[in-house]
Amino acid sequence: AQPVRAQLKNSPIGTFLLAANPSKTDSLETGLILPNSATKTVTVFGENRQVQIENGILVDFFAPLAVHIYKLN
């Protein structure tokens, strides 16, 4: 399986982490490292849910070709 790809983006309304599963067939649960993160939860933009951050790692599930946008601040 290919790893989830992620990129940070800054905008006037906050900092976002964009993450995508490039696989057309594999679902993945993956951990994304957020160094120096004091935040304990992040909002998943457009999905009406939040994800916990534990020890600087955000763990989430990605269906094939899924994209998640996390609002970090």
User: What average pLDDT does range 55-65 have in this prediction?
Assistant: 95
| Chain Cα centroid distance, residue 40 | 13
CA distance 41 to 66: 20
More confident residue, 32 or 38: 32
- pLDDT, tens digit, 9 for 90 and up, residues 35-50: 777 778 999 999 999 9
CA distance 18 to 45: 10
Q: Which residue in the block uniquely carries the two structure tokens 């006037």?
A: 12
CB atoms within 10 A of CB 21: 22
pLDDT at site 59: 95
More confident residue, 35 or 10: 10
